[in-house]
């Protein structure tokens, strides 16, 4: 069943999916474009040489993914989605950034041609 995207929250499946795609790194690293990254893809407040453990890294992932969920929910509006669709969108936005996701052709098409 599809529900308004503003009512869908972050699922455990989305967290597992993002964590498996990102992989875990306990020490910060340059992601290739000059952004320090740690854990399961966290970039907020990461300095060179920072360290974390898997439990803290999951906490960072949860925090970051929830922020992204709220941001993309705001840009999608009340388009009806299945949970797995929302999860895929959160994963995509986690990877490319919520701002880039909200400006994407996918979101424009989704708003123009609602799935229902």
Q: Is residue 116 part of a domain?
A: no
Structure tokens at 63: 């925090």
Digitized pLDDT (tens) for each residue of the chain, 116 residues in all = 666 665 578 899 999 999 999 999 999 999 999 999 999 999 999 999 999 999 999 999 999 999 999 999 999 988 889 899 999 999 999 999 999 999 999 999 998 986 66
Q: Is 76:34 a contact under the CB 8 Å cutoff?
A: no
CATH of the domain at 27: 1.10.530.40
* Residue 44 belongs to a domain: yes
pTM: 0.87
Phi/psi class of residue 53: alpha, beta or left (left: φ > 0; alpha: ψ in -120 to 50)? beta
Contact 82, 2 (CB under 8 A): yes
* Domain that residue 53 falls in: 3-111
Could you give the number of structural domains in the chain?
A: 1
């Amino acid at each position: 069943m599809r529900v308004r995207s503003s009512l869908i929250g972050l699922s455990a499946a989305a967290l597992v999916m993002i964590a498996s795609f990102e992989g875990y790194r306990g020490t910060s690293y340059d992601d290739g474009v000059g952004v320090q990254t740690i854990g399961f893809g966290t970039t907020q407040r990461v300095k060179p040489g920072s360290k974390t453990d898997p439990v803290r890294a999951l906490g960072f992932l949860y925090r970051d993914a929830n922020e992204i969920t709220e941001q993309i929910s705001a840009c999608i509006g009340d388009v009806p989605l299945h949970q797995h669709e929302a999860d895929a969108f959160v994963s995509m936005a986690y990877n490319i950034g919520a701002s880039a996701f909200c400006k994407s052709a996918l979101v424009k098409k989704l708003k123009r041609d609602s799935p229902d």
